[in-house]
């Protein structure tokens, strides 16, 4: 279902805490606010996960009137331009169908006509819902009298065949201690059967009651999240004892894929018997400063409000106002105290992960919300399974050979048809216990892959299972066959902050891989990095992915070269080059041919080839998995091997530019900065042109296009 909350909040800044509590309690998809009371030259922040549209009157130099619409960022939508003397915001929403939410506010002293309201509706091309404070009376929506404004609204309702959704409950508590109905919810007749509206029973710090309108949309199955093993409270002694027993029960197999399955079964079974699991309930938002005392104060003010409505006595009204003031004061104080407590807890020993988690909670940023829909050529997609398949198909199709140059396809097929061969060297030696333990201790995360095995489990393996793991890793290394299950990834789409979350291109794929596989990959990555650094194989101009190096080093290199050139009165020419999604486009053959030039051992080369080929993935959307899709090209993201393999592939670019002696360059991952201090601009232009031509030829073979 789709929720629309409308509320004359009597001051956006003054009542923001109450708005936060309403969002927590009802989680509306759209919020329409009146009397935000924000001056035209002022601005206000919106709750996280919501995109805001404010309408502040241009002539308003004081904090009066104004409206706003807040809509969840995950909902495909667009603002519809409205030209009217009436304060109006119209938002067209795309679900399984399109409809428009029209939010407006008409102050008590503003004159308007039925024609003005009709003109607003003429600007809307879809079915619509109209919400707002009209300050109009009519028996149609519960008033005892009908004023001129009410007659105008009645005329519009009948002439435009609109449906009134109000539930005949009062929407306003005036200063005269009377209840009136001035906030209306209207809709076009064709969607009226899908809508229900309910006036909430409490004022929430304003003099108007919030109204919640629910649009019934096609029901979508909400899959429950997979429970996580709570390793912080694990019984590790029982885990190790169980794992040791199972290790004896299930004999080691020389078949790699079979042994991986058995090893996974042993760990999973041990975990089920010794490690508690998290709840599989769908996440609900909370506010970090909430407390039992606030719950009691809120319940008290609601009780006193109900008592006043029952008796209408002045004493009960005074009691309610005192209780409401006490709740508001305590809520604001709790919010300040929560922030102060957090600020005081930050020091040089604070865990950065926990600090950022607390910052996000205080800012109202919660785990990734459910994805509502995605637009494609055939219309919006809302079903979770279809959404996950849509993302998976999009990323799989992007990696297909058909999207690459013929030279790329030819070189790839030629290079991968025969295994690369070099003489064995130190990088091919068997994995020892100390190497495994050293690498394993460097992991600090807890996020598992599809097999639900996390690093804390591996760090608490009993000696017999640790020896068995070393034996498995050496079998993989010696045979050059990477287990298929470790090549299967779970990819989660995360919205890009700079792109609308309405198309697949507006999401960044985050990959989850098996921790068992990542442990092996990090061992191999350390060996390749150590060998490349000791043999000076990586270009010194590449400053990314190097320990102790960062963007500041690139800036310092440029600053040093530029200042020297300018101090010698040389002309400084700069060319910046970026490659389009280089990580996702570089071919496996490019990585392998560079590793061959580095003279890595034959076993390492064979395992890298197996690692890069025949990869598959599923996409996870709203706790629902897609079918399996193939990843045809690119370097798999999320793997410890990815960085060094990408560095190796991109080293070919450095070799290309090294030929041009008059060009100084800096390389940070796939970002290139070419600099020249030649005063002859024709020579500089010629060098830059030749470099771009050489990079274009390299791109045809490698797949990494210059953007």
Residue of 446, 411, 433 lying closest to 593 (CA atoms): 411
Q: What is the pLDDT of residue 451?
A: 93
Dist CA 557 CA 552 (whole Å): 9
Is residue 141 within 8 Å of residue 170, measured between CB atoms? no
Q: What is the pLDDT of residue 670?
A: 86
List the single range of 15-29, 186-200, 413-427 with lowest mean pLDDT. Answer: 413-427
Dist CA 695 CA 222 (whole Å): 48
Q: For 365, phi and psi rounded to 5 degrees?
A: -95, 120
Helices 314-345 and 292-311: crossing angle, nearest 10°? Answer: 160
Model confidence at 687, pLDDT cuts 50, 70, 90, reads very high
Residue 365 clears pLDDT 70, i.e. is over it: no
Question: Considering the entire predicted model, what is its pTM?
Answer: 0.72
Q: For 79, phi and psi rounded to 5 degrees?
A: -85, 135
Dist CA 184 CA 106 (whole Å): 11
Average pLDDT, the chain: 88
Phi-psi region of 66 (alpha: psi -120 to 50; beta: other; left: phi over 0): left
**71-85: average pLDDT:** 90
Residue 343 clears pLDDT 90, i.e. is over it: no
Residue 680 burial class via C-beta count within 10 angstroms: exposed 0-12, middle 13-18, buried 19 and up? exposed
Q: What is the pLDDT of residue 168?
A: 85
Percent helix, strand, coil in the chain (nearest 5)?
A: 45, 20, 35
Residue 529 vs residue 707, higher pLDDT: 529
144 half-sphere exposure, CB direction, 13 A CA radius: 3
Residue 163: CB atoms within 10 A of its CB come to: 16
Q: Give, for 440, the enclosing helix (H) or strand (E).
A: helix 433-441
3-state DSSP assignment of residue 244: helix
Give the tokens for residue 378: 């055939």
Give the tokens for residue 440: 């394993």
Dist CA 613 CA 636 (whole Å): 10
Digit-coded pLDDT (tens) for 96-131? 788 999 999 999 889 999 999 999 999 999 999 999
Give the tokens for residue 433: 């216990």
Residue 500: CB atoms within 10 A of its CB come to: 15
Q: What is the pLDDT of residue 47?
A: 86
Dist CA 596 CA 420 (whole Å): 7
Longest dimension (CA), the chain: 96
How many separate helices (H) and strands (E) can be counted in the chain? 20, 24
**41-63: average pLDDT:** 77
Dist CA 678 CA 619 (whole Å): 51
Residue 643 clears pLDDT 60, i.e. is over it: yes
Dist CA 397 CA 388 (whole Å): 14
Dist CA 702 CA 580 (whole Å): 12
**585-603: average pLDDT:** 92
Residue 380 clears pLDDT 90, i.e. is over it: no
Strands (E), 26-82: 30-34, 50-55, 67-72, 77-80
Q: What is the pLDDT of residue 43?
A: 73
Residue 219 clears pLDDT 60, i.e. is over it: no
Residue 285 clears pLDDT 60, i.e. is over it: no
* Residues forming CATH 3.60.10.10 domain(s) in the chain: 2-215
Distances (CA, A) of 194 to 7, 183, 212, 218, 676: 21, 20, 14, 10, 66
DSSP state of 28: -
Digit-coded pLDDT (tens) for 552-566? 888 888 999 999 999
Model confidence at 339, pLDDT cuts 50, 70, 90, reads confident
3-state DSSP assignment of residue 40: coil
Dist CA 240 CA 233 (whole Å): 15
Residue 311 clears pLDDT 80, i.e. is over it: yes
Q: Give, for 340, the enclosing helix (H) or strand (E).
A: helix 314-345
Model confidence at 332, pLDDT cuts 50, 70, 90, reads confident
Digit-coded pLDDT (tens) for 391-443? 999 999 999 999 999 999 999 998 888 776 667 788 899 999 999 999 999 99
Q: Please, which residues bridge with residue 493 across strands?
A: 509
Residue 218 clears pLDDT 70, i.e. is over it: no
Residue 283 clears pLDDT 80, i.e. is over it: no
Q: In what order do the strands lie in the sheet with 573-578?
A: 573-578, 671-676, 664-668
Residue 59 clears pLDDT 70, i.e. is over it: no
Is residue 369 within 8 Å of residue 363, measured between CB atoms? no
Residue 646 vs residue 306, higher pLDDT: 646
Residue 223 clears pLDDT 80, i.e. is over it: no
Residue of 380, 386, 337 lying closest to 362 (CA atoms): 337
Q: What is the pLDDT of residue 363?
A: 61
Q: What is the pLDDT of residue 29?
A: 93
Place of tokens 């990696």: 399
Cα Rg of the chain (Å, integer): 32
3-state DSSP assignment of residue 560: helix
**379-390: average pLDDT:** 84
Q: What is the pLDDT of residue 142?
A: 86
Topology of the domain covering 2-215? Deoxyribonuclease I; Chain A (3.60.10)
Percent of residues, the chain, with pLDDT higher than 70: 92
């Amino acid at each position: 279902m789709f929720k629309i909350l409308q509320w004359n909040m009597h001051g956006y800044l003054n009542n923001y805490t109450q708005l936060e509590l309403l969002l927590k309690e009802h989680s509306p998809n759209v919020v329409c606010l009146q009397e935000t009371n924000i001056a035209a030259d002022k601005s206000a922040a919106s709750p996280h996960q919501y995109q805001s549209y404010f309408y502040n009157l241009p002539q308003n130099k004081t904090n009066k009137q104004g409206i706003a619409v807040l809509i969840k960022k995950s909902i495909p939508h667009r603002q519809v331009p409205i030209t009217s003397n009436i304060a109006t915001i119209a938002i067209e929403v795309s679900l399984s169908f399109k409809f428009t939410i029209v939010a407006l506010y008409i102050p008590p002293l503003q004159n308007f006509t039925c024609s003005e309201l009709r003109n607003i509706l003429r600007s809307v091309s879809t079915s619509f819902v109209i919400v707002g404070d009209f300050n109009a009376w009519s028996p149609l929506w519960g008033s005892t009298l009908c004023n001129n404004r009410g007659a105008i609204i009645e005329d519009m309702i009948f002439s435009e065949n609109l449906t009134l959704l109000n539930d005949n409950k009062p929407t306003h508590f005036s200063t005269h201690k009377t209840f009136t109905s001035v906030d209306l919810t209207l809709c076009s007749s064709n969607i009226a059967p899908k809508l229900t509206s309910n006036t909430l029973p409490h004022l929430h710090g304003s003099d108007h009651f919030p109204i919640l309108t629910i649009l019934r949309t096609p029901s979508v199955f909400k899959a429950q999240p997979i429970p996580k093993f709570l390793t912080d409270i694990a019984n590790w002694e029982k885990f190790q004892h169980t794992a040791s027993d199972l290790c004896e029960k299930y004999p080691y197999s020389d078949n790699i894929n079979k042994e991986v399955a058995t090893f996974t079964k042993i760990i999973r079974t041990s975990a089920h018997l010794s490690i508690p699991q998290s709840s599989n309930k769908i996440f609900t938002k909370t506010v970090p400063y909430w407390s039992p005392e606030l719950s009691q104060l809120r319940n008290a003010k609601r009780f006193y409000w109900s008592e006043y409505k029952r008796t209408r006595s002045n004493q009960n009204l005074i009691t309610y106002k005192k209780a409401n003031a006490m709740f508001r004061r305590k809520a604001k104080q709790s919010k300040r105290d929560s922030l102060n407590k957090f600020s005081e807890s930050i020091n040089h020993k604070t865990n950065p992960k926990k600090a950022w988690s607390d910052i996000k909670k205080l800012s109202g940023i919660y785990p990734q919300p459910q994805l509502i829909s995605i637009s494609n050529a055939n219309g919006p997609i809302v079903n979770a399974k279809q959404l996950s398949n849509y993302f998976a198909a999009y990323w799989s199709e992007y990696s297909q050979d058909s999207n690459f140059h013929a030279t790329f396809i030819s070189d790839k097929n030629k290079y991968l048809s025969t295994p690369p061969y070099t003489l064995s060297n130190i990088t091919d030696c068997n994995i020892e216990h100390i190497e495994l333990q050293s690498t394993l201790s460097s992991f600090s995360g807890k996020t598992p892959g599809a097999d639900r095995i996390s690093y804390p489990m591996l760090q608490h393996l009993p000696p017999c299972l640790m020896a068995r793991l070393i034996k498995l890793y050496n079998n993989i290394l010696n045979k050059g066959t990477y287990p298929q299950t470790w090549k299967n990834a779970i990819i989660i789409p995360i919205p890009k902050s700079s792109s609308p979350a309405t198309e697949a291109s507006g999401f960044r794929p985050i990959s989850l891989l098996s921790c068992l596989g990542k442990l092996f990959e990090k061992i191999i990555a350390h060996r390749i990095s150590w060998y490349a650094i000791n043999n000076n194989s990586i270009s010194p101009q590449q400053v990314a992915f190097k320990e102790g190096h960062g963007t500041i080093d690139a800036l310092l290199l440029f600053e040093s070269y530029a200042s020297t050139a300018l101090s010698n009165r040389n002309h400084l020419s700069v060319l910046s080059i970026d490659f389009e999604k280089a990580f996702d486009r570089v071919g496996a053959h490019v990585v392998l041919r560079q590793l061959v030039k580095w003279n890595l051992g034959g076993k390492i080369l064979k395992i890298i080839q197996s690692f890069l080929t025949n990869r598959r993935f599923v996409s996870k959307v709203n706790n629902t998995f897609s079918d399996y899709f193939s990843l045809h090209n690119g370097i798999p993201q999320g793997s410890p091997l990815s960085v060094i393999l990408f560095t190796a592939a991109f080293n070919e670019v450095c070799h290309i530019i090294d030929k041009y002696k008059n060009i100084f360059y800096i390389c940070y991952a796939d970002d290139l900065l070419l600099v020249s201090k030649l005063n002859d601009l024709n020579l500089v232009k010629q060098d830059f042109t030749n470099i771009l031509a050489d990079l274009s030829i390299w791109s045809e073979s490698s797949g990494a296009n210059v953007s």
